[in-house]
A and B are shown apart, each in its own frame.
Chain A
Amino acid sequence: DAEITQSPRHKITETGRQVTLACHQTWNHNNMFWYRQDLGHGLRLIHYSYGVQDTNKGEVSDGYSVSRSNTEDLPLTLESAASSQTSVYFCASSEGGTNEKLFFGSGTQLSVL
C-alpha cells in the first residue's frame, strides 16, 4: 500500500546545529507540505512544493528550507536550530486539484535544547 513516512520519529538536538527531517511518500503525489504543530496554534504551514524543483514558503518559513529533487521526497532542514523550533513536525502529500485530500505522516517530535 502507498504511504507517507517520516523519520526520525523523535529527535533531540542542540541549539545552533543543523537538522534535517525526512519525508518520503509512495503515492506519487505532486504536492507535498511541511507543517509544525504547537499547542494553541494548530497546524502551521512551513514550506510546500507542487512538483520537482518547485518550493514555496508558507506562513512560518523563517529558519527552515526544503528541496525537491524527486517526486517522492521533501526533506526539511533547520539551518541553525533554535529552541523556538521545538515542535511536532508533520509532512503531508496530495494529488492536487480543488478537492485535494491531504495524507499525513505520523510526525517527528523535535526537541531543541
Chain B
Amino acid sequence: KNQVEQSPQSLIILEGKNCTLQCNYTVSPFSNLRWYKQDTGRGPVSLTIMTFSENTKSNGRYTATLDADTKQSSLHITASQLSDSASYICVGQGSYIPTFGRGTSLIVHP
C-alpha cells in the first residue's frame, strides 16, 4: 500500500528563522512528489513538483529536495515570514491516484 509520512506534525518558529519539513514516501511505481501549501480556510495550492531525476528545486524562499534512494523529500523555508503560517502537505504520485501525507502545521510567530 502506498504511504506518505510527514514530520514533524507541527512546528512553531520565529519570523526570520529557517525551517525544514520532512516527507518519507513509499509509492510504487513512483512518478513524482509534490509539496502543497494550505492556508487556513483555503484549499491546498501546489508549491513545487519533484520528479525522479531531480535532487533540488527552488521556488523563491522554498527549496525542495528529493532523495529517490532513501525515498525522502524535504521542504526548506528560508527567512520565514508570517504568511508562511500554513499546513504543508507532501503528495506522492504513482500511476494512479495521488497519496497524501497528513501535513505539517507551521506557525510563524513575530
Query: Nearest residue in A to B95 (C-beta to C-beta)?
Result: A98
Residues from chain B with a CB closer than 8 A to the CB of A92 are 43
> Does chain A have a CB within 8 A of B32?
yes
Considering only residues 32-49 of chain A, those with a C-beta below 8 Å from chain B are 33, 35, 40-45, 48
Residues from chain B with a CB closer than 8 A to the CB of A35 are 100
Cross-chain contact A104 with B97 (CB below 8 angstroms): no
Cross-chain contact B97 with A45 (CB below 8 angstroms): yes
Scan A71-93; emit 1 where CB is below 8 A from any B CB, else 0: 00000000000000000001010
CB distance from A26 to the nearest CB of B (A): 15
Cross-chain contact A42 with B42 (CB below 8 angstroms): no
Residues from chain A with a CB closer than 8 A to the CB of B51 are 99
Residues from chain B with a CB closer than 8 A to the CB of A58 are 97
> Does chain B have a CB within 8 A of A106?
yes
- Cα distance, A44 to B43, chains bound together (Å): 14
How many residues does chain A have at the interface if contact means C-beta atoms less than 8 Å apart? Answer: 21
- Cα distance, A100 to B46, chains bound together (Å): 11
Cross-chain contact A99 with B97 (CB below 8 angstroms): no
Query: Nearest residue in B to A31 (C-beta to C-beta)?
Result: B97
Known: A41-B102, A45-B97. A99 touches B44 (CB 8 A): no
| Chain A interface (Cβ < 8 Å from any Cβ of B) | 33, 35, 40-45, 48, 58, 90, 92, 98-102, 104-107
- Given A42-B89, A101-B49, A104-B45, list of 9 further CB < 8 A pairs? A43-B44, A43-B100, A98-B31, A99-B49, A100-B98, A102-B91, A105-B43, A106-B41, A106-B42
